[in-house]
A = this chain, B = another copy of it.
C-alpha cells in the first residue's frame, strides 16, 4: 500500500496555484452588460468616467437661498424673500439668484447659481405667490450635494475582485457605466466514479447500490459560485473508460472534478487516471485535513486543466470542493466568497483536539449564536443538509472548550 505523503490544505492550494501561475493558467476576461453581472467577479477596477452628482443638487424639498440673506432668521423673526422661480425635477436651471430672492427646489433638483444653501420647506411659509417667510437660518452648503462631491472623476468606485452585487449595479448605473470586465466562468466537468453508483433518478435500487448524489451537489455548488458546468457524467470502475472520460473532459474544461475512488481501496483507478492525464504527475495525494484526506490534485500543462480527485464521501467531497477548489479560485481571482458568510459564536460543548490534522467540524448555530458541533453517524448522508456551518480546528490545536468564541463559516 502506497504511503500517503500529506500536505496541509494551505500548501495544497499553493502548490496548485503556483503550477497554474507558472503555466499561465490565466483567468480570461470578458466584458458583459452590468444587467448580467450579478454575482460575477470584477476583473478590473471600475473607474468613474464622470463624477456624481453632475450638478449641485438639493437633498431636500425647500427654498434655495443665499445663506447670508437668512443668517438672522428665527421662528419669531423670520426673513422675507421674493420667490422668483420654482425649479422642476430634471430641469436645467440657468437663472441666477440675487440677494433677497429665493427659489423653490425639490429634492434632487438643480440649485440655481449664487444660491449656496437650501432651507427645508418645513421651516418656511408661503405668504403669497411671490413672498416666502424663512424661519430658520441655513449655513452655506447645507442641504446641497455639490457637483462631484459624492464621487469624483477618475475615482475607483469598485475594486477589482469584488463579487458584483445589486448595490454595485446601482452605482454603475448612476455613473452611466453599462459594461464591466469580469472573469470568464471556468468550465467544470464533474465525473463521478464507482460501480456502486446508480443514476439518482433510479427508483428501485438493488442492495449494494447507492444513488449518485455527489455529482448533483457539486453541480449545484459550481453553479452557486459561478462556474459553468459543461458535463456531469458517471463512469464505472474501469480504467479505460475513466481514462477516456477524463481525456475528453480536459478538452472542454478548466477544472475536472472526479468524485469517488480516491481512497485506498482496491479498485481505485482515479489516481492512475489522473496521473496518466497530467504531464507532470500528481501534485497532491492526501491532505492533512479531516474530512478530506484522500484528495488528489494534478495539473495538466497541455490542456491547462486542473484535475481534482475528491473523496467519495459526500461531506468530504463538498468540503474539499469549498476549501480547495473554491479557495484556489479565490486565490486566482482575488474574490472572497466567505466575506459575508462568517459569524462569531459561543461553543456549547468541548471539542477534542484534531490530532495532527486540520479538522473541519460541522456545527449548528442557534438564533443567539450558540454553536454546537454536529457529530453525524459515520457515513451519514445528511449532515451537510442539517448543518448551518463549520468551524476550523487548526492542526496543532489542543482542542476547544465550552464557551470558547469561535468563528463559524456558514455553509
Contacts and interface: CB of A to CB of B under 8 A. Distances in A.
Contacts of A77: none
A351 interface: no
B220 A201 contact: no
A377 interface: yes
Main secondary structure of the interface of A (DSSP, over half): loop
Contact of A107 (B171, B200, B265, B369): B265
A54 B167 CA distance: 48
A31 interface: no
A312 B108 contact: yes
A170 B210 contact: no
A310 interface: no
A230 interface: no
Interface stretch (A273-281, A379-387, A396-404): A379-387
A211 interface: yes
A410 B340 contact: yes
A186 to B, nearest CB: 17
Interface string A198-238: 00111101111111111011111101100000000000010
Interface stretch (A128-136, A150-158, A239-247, A296-304): A150-158
Contacts of A285: none
Given A92-B208, A263-B61, A171 B385 contact: yes
Interface in A263-310: 263-267
A230 B397 CA distance: 53
B216 A151 contact: no
Contacts of A220: 35, 38, 165-166, 169-170
Given A210-B174, A223-B38, A267 B89 contact: yes
A197 interface: yes
A220 B318 CA distance: 28
A175 B158 CA distance: 44
A2 interface: no
A57 B90 CA distance: 72
A170 B314 contact: yes
Interface of A: 34-35, 38-39, 52-55, 57, 59, 61, 86, 88-93, 106-110, 121, 143, 145, 149-151, 157-158, 165-176, 178, 194-197, 200-203, 205-214, 216-221, 223-224, 237, 263-267, 312-314, 318, 339-345, 369, 377-382, 384-385, 387-389, 410-411
A344 B318 contact: no
Given A38-B224, A217-B167, A312-B107, A344 B344 contact: yes
A178 B166 contact: no
Given A263-B107, A378-B143, A385 B91 contact: no
B382 A157 contact: yes
A301 B270 CA distance: 61
Contacts of A265: 61, 89, 106-107
25 contacts: A35-B216, A54-B209, A88-B267, A89-B265, A92-B209, A107-B313, A108-B379, A109-B208, A110-B207, A121-B264, A145-B380, A149-B377, A151-B381, A157-B382, A167-B217, A167-B387, A169-B216, A170-B384, A171-B381, A171-B382, A171-B384, A174-B314, A176-B202, A176-B203, A343-B344
B166 A224 contact: yes
A200 B169 CA distance: 11
**Residue of A54, A171, A220, A264 with most chain B CB atoms under a 10 A cut-off:** A220
A166 B318 contact: yes
